[in-house]
């Protein structure tokens, strides 16, 4: 039997990504997000329009998608409720967000320069995708404050141990992305870390396993 429901969020399970974008002062902002998918060499990124990442990319399209594995979950969670914008909505404040201009330092992550774009990558990320935003689409209708950013991937960096014998293929058995489901972190199908984002969204705690 199925029930008709109206879930608070529809995060059925997508990989976590840290997006590097360039701030007006030239520094790199690091924005965690978990609404990303790929088709060919195009990535589609879903975000709220108030995010500093979106503001940056609307003006300066260079970006790097830093994919996250389970070993990075603690660093990721340290910046889950940080924002690169000094202005934020009341809703964000209520969820516990605060302003932080240097998210690399806050997360304890290492910068490395992009090769084809003018932003910093996350050295600890097993996979870095460099490229540029080619279009920003409004989604969800008037008042949604949501958008989908279309990115053209121009260069791909992959940690060597994740590659198969032919460098055109990434080994799906070795690449284990950190997944977010309903604001909770998962790896290998099991909870991976206590999520600050879930607490901010006032999600019910996961049952003990």
The DSSP result for the chain, as a single string, is -------S-----EE-EEEEEE-TTSPEEEEEE--EEEETTEEEEEEETTSHHHHHHHH--EEEEEE--GGGHHHHHHTTTEES-S---HHHHHTT-EE-S-HHHHHT--EEE-SSSSSEEETT-SEEEEEEEEEEEEESSTT--EEEEEEEEEEEEE-GGGB-SSTT-B-TTT----EEETTEEEETTEEEE--HHHHHTTPPPPPP-
Q: Is there a contact between 55 and 85 (Cβ–Cβ < 8 Å)?
A: yes
Q: Is there a contact between 96 and 130 (Cβ–Cβ < 8 Å)?
A: no
Question: Quick check: 93 pLDDT over 80?
Answer: no
Q: Is there a contact between 112 and 95 (Cβ–Cβ < 8 Å)?
A: no
With cut-offs at 50, 70 and 90, classify the pLDDT of residue 209. Answer: low
What is residue 164's predicted lDDT score, i.e. its pLDDT?
Answer: 92
What is residue 60's predicted lDDT score, i.e. its pLDDT?
Answer: 98
What is residue 76's predicted lDDT score, i.e. its pLDDT?
Answer: 95
With cut-offs at 50, 70 and 90, classify the pLDDT of residue 85. Answer: confident
With cut-offs at 50, 70 and 90, classify the pLDDT of residue 29. Answer: very high
Tokens coding 149? 């950013």
What is residue 170's predicted lDDT score, i.e. its pLDDT?
Answer: 94
How much is the mean pLDDT over the chain? 91
pTM for the model: 0.91
What are the pLDDT digits (tens) for 101-143? Answer: 899 999 999 999 999 999 999 999 999 999 999 999 999 888 8
Name the phi and psi angles at 135, rounded to 5.
Answer: -165, 150
Average of per-residue pLDDT across 34-57: 94
Q: Which domains does the chain have, with CATH numbers?
A: 16-200 (2.30.110.10)
Average of per-residue pLDDT across 93-102: 80
Question: Quick check: 94 pLDDT over 80?
Answer: no
With cut-offs at 50, 70 and 90, classify the pLDDT of residue 62. Answer: very high
| Higher per-residue confidence, 207 vs 104 | 104
Name the phi and psi angles at 47, rounded to 5.
Answer: -150, 165
With cut-offs at 50, 70 and 90, classify the pLDDT of residue 14. Answer: very high
What are the pLDDT digits (tens) for 155-188? Answer: 999 999 999 987 789 999 999 999 999 989 999 8
Average of per-residue pLDDT across 189-197: 89
Q: How far apart, in Å, are the Cα atoms of 61 and each of 54, 58, 101, 108, 150?
A: 9, 6, 19, 25, 10
Average of per-residue pLDDT across 88-108: 82
With cut-offs at 50, 70 and 90, classify the pLDDT of residue 92. Answer: confident
């Amino acid at each position: 039997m199925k029930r008709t429901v109206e879930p608070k969020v529809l995060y059925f399970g997508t990989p976590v990504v840290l997006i590097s974008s360039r701030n007006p002062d030239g520094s790199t902002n690091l924005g965690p997000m978990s609404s990303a998918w790929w088709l060919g060499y195009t990535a589609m990124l879903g975000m709220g329009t108030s995010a500093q990442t979106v503001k940056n990319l609307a003006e300066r399209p260079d970006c790097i998608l830093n994919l996250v594995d389970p070993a990075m979950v603690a660093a990721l969670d340290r910046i889950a409720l940080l924002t690169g914008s000094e202005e934020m909505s009341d809703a964000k404040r209520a969820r516990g967000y605060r302003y932080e201009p240097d998210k690399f330092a806050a997360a304890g992550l290492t910068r490395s320069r992009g090769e084809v774009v003018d932003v910093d990558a996350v050295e600890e990320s097993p996979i870095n995708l460099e490229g540029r935003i080619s279009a920003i689409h409004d989604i969800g209708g008037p008042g949604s404050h949501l958008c989908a950013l279309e990115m053209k991937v121009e260069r791909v960096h992959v940690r060597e141990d994740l590659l198969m014998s032919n460098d055109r293929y990434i080994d799906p058995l070795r690449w284990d992305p950190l997944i977010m489901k309903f604001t909770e972190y998962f790896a290998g199908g099991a909870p991976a870390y206590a999520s600050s984002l879930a607490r901010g969204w006032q999600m019910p705690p996961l049952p003990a396993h």
